[in-house]
Structure 1
Amino acid sequence: MCYFKAFVYFCDMKNIIVTGTSRGIGFELALQFANAGYQVLAISRKTPQALINHENITCLSVDLSSEIDLEKVENFLSKSWKKVDAVVHNAGSLLLKPFAETSQKDFEDIYKVNVFAVANLTRICLPYLQKGSHVVTISSMGGIQGSLKFAGLAAYSSSKGAVITLSELLAEEYKERGIAFNVLALGSVQTEMLAEAFPGYEAPISAGEMAEYIYNFTLTANKYFNGKVLQVSSTNP
């Protein structure tokens, strides 16, 4: 009987990819999935010891802005996983700089992480995604058309708008395969990245609290949404 239960548990176990797991929301999210028994591929440039030591987490040190480095993910999937049940594109890069001082390279650096990495990683995962898989992209209220915008975030906010449109297009292109693509546009969350960009500002929601919301959304929302953008913010924006 114990063997049967273990077998059922193994068959039902989901494989989840989370990016940007070195700190903040991604770190908390990887732990929440792993503690619930899911197998997690945690992708970030730096790998926290707390994730490395977890039996349900595999850590890959990857520079998401590099197509060549992303081959590590493709190699892992081809050798270790037969399927991917969910991908959470959480990694992000933020630049706070006046537009007049923002160079083309600045824009390219932000877009490489916030847009191109989302596209490239999704392409790598496509052969392993199946009916019922869910791809969740973490965007920002700054990327929502008509929302309040902040000066100095031209590269960041425009990149977050780009991944919204990308996800809407992918939802249409892969709807016949039963793969759902949705976006969560977050408001302010108390993370290290926020503290670095806006010293002294205190957000009303912690990284752990937001991770819990994303955790539940990733596991269940594909039953109700596809190609949708949900605004998750208790502040303006």
Structure 2
Amino acid sequence: MKQSKNIIITGTSRGIGFELVHLFANQGHNVLALSRNAQPVNNLHFDNITSFSFDLCNDDDYQKVEQFIKNEWNHVDVLINNAGSLLNKPFSETTMDDFEHVYKTNVFGVAEMTRVVLPFMKSDGHVVTISSMGGIQGSMKFPGLAAYSSSKGAVITLTELLAEEYKNSGPQFNVLALGAVQTEMLAEAFPGYEAPTTALQMAEYIADFSLNGNKYYNGKALQVSNSTP
């Protein structure tokens, strides 16, 4: 049995995040699963999973995470910034409040979660942020995703900056730009669209990458997509 790791995952109530919690727990790792809705993970009943309700937009919730790490773990090996907010709306109707909501989750939340967890990470820790192909410069773009895709572009640049700032001390920072994955979030934004990749298939890739990818990559955006979008 490999040594178990301490892994924090955001956005775990469904989709890729939920599958990741299950995969890591089955492998014997300790998981802190954070989501506004903690119930789906609580239903899993694993001794090595801790789950509590967490909102990336609520300042007080970050203190709960900090206290948990101090009291239970002392250190964190992997942070997966998976939580995301997807808005599909014509730009002419997208308000400042809409933009603020999407950026609060997808950019500010990623930055703050990373900042809170960093003091507990070792030099070989790995921060993996889940982005989107829509955030890659030069990739195919879609109408209605101005707030979402631009926020996903912002975390790619943020990852590059953090990798540079912490290159001498660690941990490592990478971002995975995912193509279309069949999740509830995708179905809500694009009813009827069928993605070529399941949430479990993508979670298996992300799980392996988060445990091993930082041996080979730092400050990189990897495009994980088998389709054009």
| Cα displacement (A) at 1:51 | 4.0
Amino acid at match of 2:72: S
Give unmatched runs, 5+ long, in structure 2: none
Measure, in 2, the Cα distance between the counterparts of 1:148 and 1:19. 27
| Cα displacement (A) at 1:163 | 0.3
Amino acid at match of 1:124: V
Identity percentage of aligned residues? 64
Which of the residues 81, 106, 125 maps onto 1:114? 106
Residue 38 of structure 2 aligns to a residue whose secondary structure is coil
| Cα displacement (A) at 1:72 | 1.2
| Cα displacement (A) at 1:50 | 4.6
| Cα displacement (A) at 1:210 | 0.2
Contact 1:89–1:138 (CA under 8 A) maintained in structure 2: yes
User: TM-score scaled to structure 2, two decimals?
Assistant: 0.97
Which of the residues 77, 94, 97 maps onto 2:89? 97
Contact 2:88–2:145 (CA under 8 A) maintained in structure 1: yes
Q: How does 1:41-80 map to 2 (within 5 A)?
A: 41-52=32-43, 53-80=45-72
Residue 175 of structure 1 aligns to a residue whose secondary structure is coil
Measure, in 2, the Cα distance between the counterparts of 1:39 and 1:137. 19
Partner of 1:172: 164
Contact 2:20–2:204 (CA under 8 A) maintained in structure 1: yes
Q: Could you list the per-position Cα deviations for residues 109-154 of structure 1 after superposition, in whole angstroms to 9, with x for gaps in the alignment?
A: 0001000111001110111011110000000000000000000100
- What number of residue pairs does the alignment pair up? 228
Q: How does 1:1-237 map to 2 (within 5 A)?
A: 12-52=3-43, 53-237=45-229
Measure, in 2, the Cα distance between the counterparts of 1:135 and 1:141. 19
Residue 60 of structure 2 aligns to a residue whose secondary structure is coil
Give unmatched runs, 5+ long, in structure 1: 1-7
Contact 2:178–2:224 (CA under 8 A) maintained in structure 1: yes
Measure, in 2, the Cα distance between the counterparts of 1:49 and 1:122. 24
Larger Rg: 1
Q: Could you list the per-position Cα deviations for residues 85-107 of structure 1 after superposition, in whole angstroms to 9, with x for gaps in the alignment?
A: 00000000001111111111100
Measure, in 2, the Cα distance between the counterparts of 1:104 and 1:151. 18
Contact 1:135–1:179 (CA under 8 A) maintained in structure 2: yes
Measure, in 1, the Cα distance between the counterparts of 2:198 and 2:20. 12
